[in-house]
Amino acid sequence: MDLQEFHEKPEVTAAVAEAVEKTLSLIGEDPAREGLVKTPRRVGKALQFLCKGYNEDPEAILRAALFEEDYRQMVVVKDIDFYSLCEHHMLPFFGKVHVAYIPNGRITGLSKIARVVDVYARRLQVQERLTTQIKDCIQNTLNPLGVMVVIEAEHLCMQMRGVQKQHAMTVTSDFTGAFTRQETREEFLKLIKE
């Protein structure tokens, strides 16, 4: 399935709509009110889109554009926008993903890195797991000399509720191979800050 495609499953939409209608009643709303009549179905469709990553294979995406190349310097794809849902409150978190890998005879199409980010982001997530999943996918599929992933994100579960801290940024990182060397990590961090 192409990442850009989205196919709604009517049975899922109907089941989610039923639950949302009940939820609206439980919080004191009238699901029959004009502005809310279509909301349950909209939520059903939206949740399927926001969680479509469960139906996609990120390693297959990378394998679809593998090329033999004798390049052994850092490849960096930075500032990849992402949007995800926190698995604890199902509220959005979003920000930027920065990825680097050092090829070991094989490279992949650059857009495939961004698509891998989207596949994992389009699942209920925590930022820490998202960081590791992206790293592991690239490491397992390309077998590079090393991979590093840094994610910078804002979490609406921290901003809209709970501690209500606006503009708080959460940064996570994970790395393998050549990036265990401090100078290699520092080179990557310098490149993503430029």
Cβ density class 154-178: b for 16+ within 10 Å, e for less? bbebbbeeeeeeeeeeeebbbbbbb
Catalytic residue among 8, 87, 128, 186: 87
Catalytic (active site) residue 87:
yes
- Would residue 155 show up in a list of annotated catalytic residues for this protein? yes
The Cα–Cα gap between 188 and 143 comes to 19
Specify whether 51 is catalytic: no
CB atoms within 10 A of CB 61: 23
Annotation says 29 is catalytic = no
| Residue 89: active-site member | yes
Q: Give me the catalytic one of 8, 18, 88, 128.
A: 88
**Active-site residue, selected from the candidate residues 51, 152, 154, 157:** 157
The question of whether 137 is a catalytic residue gets the answer no
Kindly name the residue from 21, 48, 56, 155 that is annotated as catalytic. Answer: 155
Instruction: Kindly give the pairing relationship between strand 92-102 and strand 75-86.
Output: antiparallel
Catalytic residue among 48, 125, 127, 139: 127
98 included as an active-site residue: no
Q: Which of 100, 95, 159, 99 is nearest to 127 (CA)?
A: 95
Q: What does 135-173 look like in DSSP terms, one character per residue?
A: HHHHHHHH--SEEEEEEEEEEHHHHTSTT--TT--EEEE
The catalytic position among 86, 133, 137, 139 is 86
- Catalytic residues, which ones? 86-89, 127, 155, 157
